[in-house]
Amino acid sequence: MRLYAVLFLVAISTMLAESVSIKTLVFPSETSTSYVEMVPQKPLNMRAFTLCMRVATELTGRREIVLFAYRTQRADELNVWRELDGRLSFYLVDEPVFFRVPDIGALQTHLCVTWDSSSGAAALFMDGRKSLTKIFKKGHTVQPRGKVIIGQDLDSYLGPFDANQSFVGEIGDINLWDSVLSDRMIQDMFSGKRVPRGNVFDWETTQLKINGEVVVVNTQQ
């Protein structure tokens, strides 16, 4: 019996050591004051990127929703939206590319967008499944020295915000790389396997500046 007890304790200790605490941002209501600023590990000077997140919302079909907003003093450099008609999109310097995909709802969705300047190839992944590839903003460079905001759309560099465009729901595991990840790596990330963390934003270590009524919830994975 003692041997079984020891083996059981070892197994439990191993499981706890391997588990990871993941924080999720919960935006409980529509406001113009609740948002989170993410502090990058390096400047967002990018000719390619992969941006991933896990998101859930019950605002389906009611209005457009901003999922990620990066703005410099000059322009909206990189925004990700759920459009009014349910399409997902991302914008580079105010120009959009749209993807008609299943709607985001109350069940958590793993979402990634990828883009490469050299070819213009842009794609979207939902729960590990890849969309068709579109050619978008070939030769463009995302400019540095801006702000990244979660939960609100930066209509100007310092605000103000519009509550009708605010995010309501939960969002987390936001990682950004300045390269295009392989399809397999994105699929592994969706399935919960450990992959190299974002080198621009690493959700496990990135500094978050919480404002308003945002609640940070920690879960074990």
* Residue partners of 4: CB distance under 8 A and separation at least 6: none
Is residue 202 predicted with pLDDT exceeding 80? yes
Token duo for residue 216: 């940070």
Left if phi > 0, otherwise alpha if psi is -120 to 50, otherwise beta: which for 7? alpha
Token duo for residue 132: 């068709």
Residue 174: per-residue pLDDT: 98
The string of DSSP codes covering 153-216 is: --SSBTB---GGG---EEEEEEEEESSPPPHHHHHHHHTT---PPPSSB-TTT-EEEEETT-EE
Dihedral of CA 176/181/186/189: which sign? negative
**Strand residue runs (E) in 72-108:** 76-82, 88-92, 95-99
Only one residue has tokens 């990620």, namely: 68
| 140-157 tens-digit pLDDT | 999 999 999 999 998 766
Which one has a higher pLDDT value, 221 or 76? 76
Residue 71: per-residue pLDDT: 94
User: What are the C-alpha distances in Å from 86 to residues 64, 80, 89, 103?
Assistant: 8, 13, 10, 6
| 78-104 tens-digit pLDDT | 999 999 899 999 999 989 999 999 999
- Cα separation of 203 and 207, whole Å? 9
Residue 11: per-residue pLDDT: 42
pTM comes to: 0.89
| Mean pLDDT for the chain overall | 89
- Cα-to-chain-centroid distance, residue 60: 18
Residue 12: per-residue pLDDT: 39
Report the SS3 class of residue 122.
strand
Is residue 8 predicted with pLDDT exceeding 70? no
The arithmetic mean of pLDDT across residues 195-210, rounded, is: 96
Residue 34: per-residue pLDDT: 96
Is residue 158 predicted with pLDDT exceeding 70? no
* % pLDDT > 70, the chain: 87
Closest of 127, 159, 166 to residue 25, by C-alpha: 166
